[in-house]
Chains A and B, each alone.
Chain A
Amino acid sequence: MSTTLLLIARRLGAAVLTLLLVSVVVFTISSLLPGDAAQETLGQSATPEAVAALRAQLGLNEPAHLRYLHWLGGLLTGDPGRSMANNLPVREIIAGRLPKSLLLAGLTAAVAVPVALAIGILSAMYQGSRLDRALNVVTLSMVAVPEFLVATVAVLVFAVKLRWLPSLTMIPEDASLGDFLRAYALPVMTLCFVIIAQMARMTRAAVIDQLSQPYVEMAALKGLRPARVAFVHALPNAIGPIVNAVALSLSYLLGGAIIVETIFNYPGIASLMVDAVTSRDMPLLQACAMVFCTAYLLLVLIADVCAILANPRLRNQ
Chain B
Amino acid sequence: MTGPGALDVLSRRGLLGAAGGAVILPDVAFAQPRRGGRIRVASTSSSTADTLDPAKGALSTDYVRHYMLYSGLTQFDAKLTPRLALAESFESRDRTVWRIKLRKGIHFHDGSTLTSADVVYSLLRHKDPATASKVKSIAQQIQAVKAVGPYEVEVRLEAPNADLPTILATSHFLIIKNGARDFRTANGCGPYMCKVFKPGVRTIGVRNANYWKPGRPYLDEIELIGIPDEVSRVNALLSGDVHLMNAVNPRSTRRILASNRHDILETKSGLYTDLIMRQDRLPSGAPAFTAAMKLLLDRELIRKALFRGYATPANDHPIPPSNPYYLPGLPQRAYDPDRAKFLLRQAGLLGVRLPVYASPAAEGSVDMASILQEAAANIGLRLAVNRVPSDGYWSNHWMKHPLTFGNTNPRPTADLLFSLFFKSDADWNESGWKNRHFDQLLLAARGEADEAKRKQMYGDMQVLVHQSGGVGIPVFISSLDAHDRRLKGFGSIPIGGLMGYSFAEYVWWDA
Contact = CB atoms under 8 A, between A and B. Distances in A.
A251 interface: no
B231 interface: yes
Contacts of A170: 202, 225, 241
Contacts of A50: 129, 132, 136
A86 B50 contact: yes
A96 B197 CA distance: 12
Contact of B49 (A35, A49, A54, A86): A86
A17 interface: no
Interface string A207-233: 000000000000000000000000000
A39 interface: yes
Nearest to B232: A263
Contacts of A39: 395
Contacts of B231: 152
Contacts, number: 118
Contacts of B184: 88
A170 B199 CA distance: 15
A166 interface: yes
B188 to A, nearest CB: 18
A316 interface: no
B48 A43 contact: no
Contacts of B428: 44-45
A57 B48 contact: no
B232 A272 contact: no
Interface string A173-189: 00000000000000000
A46 B129 contact: no
Interface string A248-275: 0000000000000011110100011001
B455 interface: no
B132 A53 contact: yes
A136 B202 CA distance: 42
A295 to B, nearest CB: 20
Nearest to A51: B395
B176 to A, nearest CB: 16
B235 A156 contact: yes
A168 B201 contact: no
Nearest to A264: B232
Main SS class of interface, A = helix
A57 B134 contact: no
B130 A57 contact: yes
A275 B132 contact: no
B391 A278 contact: yes
B272 to A, nearest CB: 14
Contacts of A40: 395
B48 A276 contact: yes
Contacts of A278: 47, 391
A166 B428 CA distance: 44
B74 interface: no
A35 B396 contact: yes
Contacts of B47: 85, 275, 278-279
Interface in A148-186: 152, 155-156, 159-160, 163, 166-168, 170
Instruction: Among B49, B51, B241, find the residue whose CB has the most chain A CB atoms closer than 10 A.
Output: B49
Interface residues of B, number: 42
Interface string A38-73: 011111111101100110010000000000000000
A34 interface: yes
Interface string B114-158: 000000000000000110101011000000000000000000000
Given A152-B231, A155-B235, A159-B235, A85 B130 contact: no
B225 A265 contact: yes
A247 interface: no
A83 B48 CA distance: 8
B250 interface: no
A131 B238 CA distance: 40
Given A57-B132, A262-B229, A281 B48 contact: yes
A53 B239 contact: no
Contacts of B226: 265
Given A34-B395, A263-B229, A265-B225, A167 B48 contact: no
A88 B51 CA distance: 11
A284 B228 CA distance: 20
B343 interface: no
Instruction: Among A53, A264, A271, A275, find the residue whose CB has the most chain B CB atoms closer than 10 A.
Output: A275
Contacts of A43: 58, 394
A57 B395 CA distance: 20
B16 interface: no
A275 B232 contact: no
B132 A42 contact: yes
Contact of B241 (A53, A166, A281): A166
Contact of B427 (A47, A54, A155): A47
Instruction: Among B130, B137, B235, B428, find the residue whose CB has the most chain A CB atoms closer than 10 A.
Output: B235
Instruction: Among B56, B200, B226, B242, find the residue whose CB has the most chain A CB atoms closer than 10 A.
Output: B200
B205 to A, nearest CB: 16
B360 to A, nearest CB: 13
Instruction: Among A83, A160, A263, A281, find the residue whose CB has the most chain B CB atoms closer than 10 A.
Output: A160
Instruction: Among B50, B129, B240, B395, find the residue whose CB has the most chain A CB atoms closer than 10 A.
Output: B395
B227 interface: yes
Contacts of A156: 235
A264 B241 CA distance: 11
Given A272-B200, A279-B49, A281-B48, A168 B241 contact: yes
A24 interface: no
29 contacts: A35-B392, A41-B132, A44-B394, A50-B136, A54-B129, A57-B132, A85-B47, A85-B199, A86-B50, A93-B199, A96-B198, A155-B239, A156-B235, A159-B241, A166-B241, A167-B235, A167-B236, A167-B239, A168-B225, A168-B227, A170-B202, A262-B228, A262-B229, A264-B232, A265-B225, A265-B227, A265-B236, A267-B200, A284-B48
9 closest residue pairs by CB, A with B? A53-B129, A159-B239, A85-B49, A275-B47, A167-B239, A267-B201, A47-B427, A160-B238, A44-B394
Interface of B: 47-51, 56, 58, 129-130, 132, 134, 136-137, 184, 198-202, 225-229, 231-232, 235-236, 238-242, 391-392, 394-396, 398, 407, 427-428
